[in-house]
């Protein structure tokens, strides 16, 4: 199985879970991550997790220019909007293509672990590219059964870096704008600025 990995915390839980039934390799392909320094940090943390779990990690190219070209017209969309759908599609397409070319039997992604990611949409896109590249896609919603909560605990145990925005420049700008607004309020000036992400959409309800 080839598993698309967006970040180390998600990989630690999901890949660990999948290894119970599959021979897993990871695929790090995330052209959405901005700035490049952040990309390097998340890739380094993913390498650590791959080593910890004893799985191979394939690293795709950093095609940030392509990502910007595909998403620019949707720059004002909120998280979970059409821009995110395009972002899922680009990453899943590359994963399916590589899985097919490298003779994997099945592929999937860890992204459905996040409460801010649309599992149903990702599963639909994953199946579509599975059909295109003639490879099975494992549909999943890894946030179920307290998956996200368990991943947070594992991250703390392994002292992993946990990002506070999805990765793209638009979510980073929105986070910074929200932080600036809050910092202008006297009652918030003394608060810990790293305590949690700000003003993100409501997590996807579990079925």
Q: Which CATH number characterizes residue 34's domain?
A: 3.40.50.620
Instruction: Flag residues of the chain having pLDDT under 70.
Output: 177-207
CA distance 121 to 124: 5
Q: Which domain holds residue 67?
A: 2-149
Per-residue model confidence (pLDDT) at position 116: 87
What is the DSSP secondary structure assignment for residue 112, as one 8-state letter? Answer: G
Domain-located, residue 125? yes
Give the total number of structural domains in the chain: 1
Domain-located, residue 21? yes
Structure tokens at 38: 């952040």
Q: State the alpha helices, DSSP H only, in 24-116.
A: 36-53, 64-71, 82-101
Strand partners, 64: none
Domain-located, residue 82? yes
Domain-located, residue 204? no
Strand partners, 106: 136
Per-residue model confidence (pLDDT) at position 24: 98
CA 133 to chain centre: 22
Domain-located, residue 57? yes
Q: What is the pLDDT of residues 117-172, one digit of tens each?
A: 999 999 999 999 999 999 999 999 999 999 999 999 999 999 999 998 889 999 88
Per-residue model confidence (pLDDT) at position 179: 61
């Amino acid at each position: 199985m080839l598993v698309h990995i967006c970040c180390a915390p998600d990989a630690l839980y999901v890949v660990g879970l999948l290894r119970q039934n599959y021979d897993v390799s990871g695929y790090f392909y995330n052209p959405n991550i901005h700035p490049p320094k952040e990309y390097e940090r998340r890739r380094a943390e993913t390498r650590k997790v791959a080593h910890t779990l004893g799985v191979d990690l394939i690293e795709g190219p950093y095609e940030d220019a392509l990502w910007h070209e595909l998403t620019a017209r949707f720059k004002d969309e909120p998280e979970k909007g059409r821009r995110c759908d395009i972002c899922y599609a680009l990453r899943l397409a590359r994963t399916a293509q590589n899985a097919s070319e490298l003779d994997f039997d099945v592929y999937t992604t860890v992204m459905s672990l996040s409460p801010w990611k649309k599992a149903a949409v990702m599963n639909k896109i994953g199946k579509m590219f599975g059909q295109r590249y003639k490879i099975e896609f494992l549909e999943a919603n890894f946030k179920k059964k307290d998956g996200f909560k368990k991943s947070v605990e594992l991250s703390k145990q392994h002292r992993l870096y946990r990002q506070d925005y999805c990765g793209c420049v638009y979510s980073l700008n929105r986070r910074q704008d929200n932080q600036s607004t809050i910092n202008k309020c006297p009652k918030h000036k003394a608060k810990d600025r790293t305590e949690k992400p700000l003003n993100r959409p409501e997590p996807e309800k579990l079925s």
